[in-house]
Homo-oligomer: A and B are copies of this chain.
Amino acid sequence: MSYTVDAEERALARQSAETVLSRRLGGLSALSAADLVVLRQLKGHTVAAGAIVHSGAIGSDRPGYFLSGWGARLATGASDTKQIVTLLLPGDGFGVSPSPWAGESLPVCTLTDSVLLDASAVRTLVRQRNSGHAGLIEACERAAWLEQAYALNHLIRLGQQSAYERVAHLVRELFVRLNDVGLADRNRFSMPLRQQIIADALGLSCVHFNRVARRMRKDGLIDFVRGAVHVLDTAALAAMTGGAWIG
Contact = CB atoms under 8 A, between A and B. Distances in A.
Contact of A103 (B79, B81, B148): B148
A203 B159 contact: yes
A84 B156 CA distance: 9
A120 interface: no
Contact of A99 (B84, B99, B146, B242): B99
Interface in A193-225: 203
* This chain's copy number in the assembly: 2
A69 to B, nearest CB: 23
B145 A75 contact: no
A141 to B, nearest CB: 8
B244 A101 contact: no
A103 B152 contact: yes
Interface in A100-152: 101-103, 105-106, 145-146, 148-149, 151-152
Nearest to A154: B155
Interface in A78-96: 78-79, 81, 83-85
A159 B156 contact: no
Interface string A221-247: 000000000000000000000111111
Contacts of A75: 152, 155-156, 244, 246
Contacts of A102: 145-146, 148-149, 151-152, 246-247
A156 B203 CA distance: 10
A81 B243 CA distance: 9
A106 B148 CA distance: 12
Contacts of A154: 155, 159
A126 to B, nearest CB: 13
Interface of A: 75, 77-79, 81, 83-85, 98-99, 101-103, 105-106, 145-146, 148-149, 151-152, 154-156, 158-160, 203, 242-247
21 contacts: A77-B243, A77-B244, A77-B245, A81-B160, A83-B155, A83-B156, A83-B159, A83-B160, A83-B244, A85-B152, A98-B99, A101-B148, A102-B145, A102-B146, A102-B151, A151-B151, A151-B152, A151-B155, A155-B155, A158-B158, A160-B203
